[in-house]
Structure 1
Amino acid sequence: MKKVNKVVVAIAAASLISSVAISPAANAATKQKVCVALDTAGINDKSFNQTSYEGAKLAQKAGYTSSIEYLPAKSNADYAPNIKKFLDKKCTLIIGVGYLLGDAFAAAAPANPSVNFALVDGWSSGKNQKGITYKTDENSFLVGYLAAGMSKTGKVATYGGIQIPTVTIFMEGYAKGVQYYNEVKNKKVEVLGWNTKTKTGTFLGSFDDTTKALQTSISFEQQGADVIFPVAGGMQATTAANSVKTKKSNVIWVDAKVMDTGKQYASVTPVSALKGLAEGVLAVTKEAYEGKFTSKEYVGSLSNKGVSYAITPAWAKKIPASLQNEVKDLAANIAAGYIDVNNA
């Protein structure tokens, strides 16, 4: 097992330099108006947007906000206007769902210092913008190892929606997990759709192109892949529907549990790679409610359960117990810092 060095140092350094100035908007125990700006996949994407908004619902249920609302986006051009609408409505905490809202947030946050801004899969900036981030390479590493162990063809695959860091981190972790399995087991399971050396892979170009998602899924099957990991929001449902039809592949669900957002696909989905989107939004909303909002990033990891994985109940007895135990041990060692997924 390899000790963590660079990762721990980098996190410690980042913690030291992160701003901890409290926003003027943060008043202890003051109920807020929380407004959520979605990306283009819509509120019912059964993935990224839907799960993030669940965090706002949980915050309202807990009494951390007096009201919540969201605005969808048809294209990137809607991001800035949606934020303007929220500012006009006197929202006290504006949450953006997705890396692609970054430019709009970068313009709005400094111009509105009395409002708190939080960006899912984004970054911190100034005193009133917090990034809600996730080390999804950790749990992707685990499902990659599992996929390699389950594959009967010796080929697995992954594809992304758009080639941005918050998508490729999943794909990289997945491929590294397969590589680790090969090293441990002396196997040669191949990964289609992502190259860890060149950092290039297969992308749809959006998060809502069902035609291309289906074509990509079929192409992977034709190349022999029998486990596919779509990192493209709701497009995972397209891949899973194809798997149900062809019976040639299984799918790894992303962001939420398949039983929560796509249980009709449980028969072809052995595992879900979970991203604590609701938990991150809830934590940030609670922080603002308590008057403790800062620009220090929220970082979800295996160690704080901000990322995880879940075996689908119907698969609990189908997946070899030995393989499941190996993944559990890997998760514990990554969380404890004994394995660095980037250098494993």
Structure 2
Amino acid sequence: MRKSLLWGLLAVMTMLLAACGSASGQAESLKEQTSIGLVVTESGLGDDSFSDSAIRGLERARDELGILFDYREPEPEDLAASIDALVQNQHELIVGLGFNAQQPIEEMASKYPEQQFILVDGVSEKKNVTSITFKENEGSYLIGLIAGMRTKSNTVGFIGGQKVPLIENFEKGFTSGVKEVNPDAEVLVDYIDTFSDDKKGAATAQKQIKDGADFIFPTAGFAGVGALKKAQEKGIYAFGVDSDQFYIAEEAVVTSMLKRVDTALFDMAKQLDEEQPFTGEHIELGLQENGVGLAPIRVITLTAEQQDRLDQASGKGNNE
């Protein structure tokens, strides 16, 4: 009886030691696994836009390539400290999203010259910072074509989160598309100095609707979500940005201008996985590179002529 009990105790101890050894091995393996650190925009996760698109790209890298990732949602004044913390966690790549990340990314790039960084929506001269920008004007031009062709009031609206060159690029493309097909249309433009205040986005949309806009294009992060919901409430049309935002306001969002941050970051993860060197280059992505484009058109139906005009502009038409 005692002998049987002794053997049982020995068996249990052996199993526990084996389990501990296995867990230790898994932890060691996890520590050695390739990983990427990400600092998102001030809108944070759940913006149904820029930050969420970046996370989708890294989730794809995790699922398809086995590359882990970690992220931070800092306040603007804490960006540098958050990036520094990610460096200390020994991620092979550190990604900063948005033009506001440029200064802290460059500060950390100087502090850690052996660390590789990715800057999205800015261009850095640092040799250990790879810059990724998008030709927002090309995608916004397509949005403008639709608004210009379909407006009944001959008034459409643009809402920008902040008056900086990046957002002005959206505005220029949108206005150019509207005027290309409808020179008499009026384009209302408002910059609201926030990417996070959805109430301010809604109030600005309300003002533009009162002034006659029947299509609104907000490029303002989470603040733009408020504008989309207001458009639906008031029975007019709107366009999403960065990600497919149809599900935010299914009765209003005609299409969204896709800024394929997810694809760009997955490509960077793939480059890391294949051990290709990072050279601090500037990568610019537009329609031709599939860096920008449109989500499916819903809510309205374009005529054959209007669809052909859109296809020609997006490079899908017959160019012969």
TM-score w.r.t. the length of structure 2 is 0.85
How many Å separate the matches in 2 of 1:178 and 1:305? 22
1:310 positional shift: 2.2
Amino acid at match of 2:214: D
How many residue pairs were aligned? 288
1:296 positional shift: 1.4
- Determine what percentage of the aligned residue pairs are the same residue: 25
SS of the aligned residue for 1:140 comes to: helix
Q: Partner of 1:176 in structure 2?
A: 176
Q: Partner of 2:39 in structure 1?
A: 37
1:85 partnered with 2:69: no
How many Å separate the matches in 2 of 1:115 and 1:31? 16
How many Å separate the matches in 1 of 2:171 and 2:153? 20
1:266 positional shift: 2.1
- 1:180-218 CA-partner distances (Å, limit 9, x unpaired): 113xxxx4011110xxxxxxxx21111011222111101
How many Å separate the matches in 1 of 2:128 and 2:245? 34
- Gap runs ≥5 in structure 2: 1-31
- 1:110-121 equivalence runs, <5 A: 110-121=110-121
- 1:214-263 CA-partner distances (Å, limit 9, x unpaired): 1110110111011000000122221121122111x21111011124xxx1
- 1:173-322 equivalence runs, <5 A: 173-182=173-182, 187-193=183-189, 202-247=190-235, 249-259=236-246, 263-292=247-276, 293-315=278-300, 318-322=301-305
Q: Partner of 1:163 in structure 2?
A: 163
1:306 positional shift: 0.8
Q: Partner of 1:199 in structure 2?
A: none
Whether the aligned pair in 2 keeps the contact of 1:52 and 1:278 (CA below 8 Å) is yes
The higher relative CO (CA closer than 8 Å, separation ≥ 6) is in 1
How many Å separate the matches in 1 of 2:108 and 2:317? 37
1:90 positional shift: 1.3
1:48 positional shift: 0.7
- 1:48-59 equivalence runs, <5 A: 48-59=50-61
How many Å separate the matches in 2 of 1:334 and 1:131? 31
Whether the aligned pair in 2 keeps the contact of 1:109 and 1:115 (CA below 8 Å) is yes
Whether the aligned pair in 1 keeps the contact of 2:140 and 2:173 (CA below 8 Å) is yes
How many Å separate the matches in 2 of 1:311 and 1:152? 22
How many Å separate the matches in 2 of 1:71 and 1:172? 32
Amino acid at match of 1:211: K
1:145 positional shift: 1.0
- Gap runs ≥5 in structure 1: 1-29, 194-201, 339-344
Whether the aligned pair in 2 keeps the contact of 1:157 and 1:229 (CA below 8 Å) is yes
Whether the aligned pair in 1 keeps the contact of 2:194 and 2:223 (CA below 8 Å) is no
- Which entry has the higher C-alpha Rg, 1 or 2? 2
- 1:264-318 CA-partner distances (Å, limit 9, x unpaired): 4121111111111100111112112222222112221111111111233443xx3
- 1:6-65 CA-partner distances (Å, limit 9, x unpaired): xxxxxxxxxxxxxxxxxxxxxxxx952201001210111110111111111111112252
Q: Which moved more, 1:47-56 or 1:292-301?
A: 292-301
- The 1:310–1:303 alpha-carbon spacing in structure 2 relative to 1, beyond 3 Å, is same
TM-score w.r.t. the length of structure 1 is 0.79
Whether the aligned pair in 1 keeps the contact of 2:34 and 2:92 (CA below 8 Å) is yes
How many Å separate the matches in 2 of 1:57 and 1:335? 36
How many Å separate the matches in 1 of 2:165 and 2:248? 30
- The 1:171–1:64 alpha-carbon spacing in structure 2 relative to 1, beyond 3 Å, is farther
How many Å separate the matches in 2 of 1:335 and 1:286? 33
SS of the aligned residue for 1:124 comes to: coil
- The 1:125–1:291 alpha-carbon spacing in structure 2 relative to 1, beyond 3 Å, is farther
1:134 partnered with 2:134: yes
- The 1:295–1:162 alpha-carbon spacing in structure 2 relative to 1, beyond 3 Å, is same
SS of the aligned residue for 2:257 comes to: strand
Structure with greater proportional helix content: 2
Q: Partner of 2:9 in structure 1?
A: none
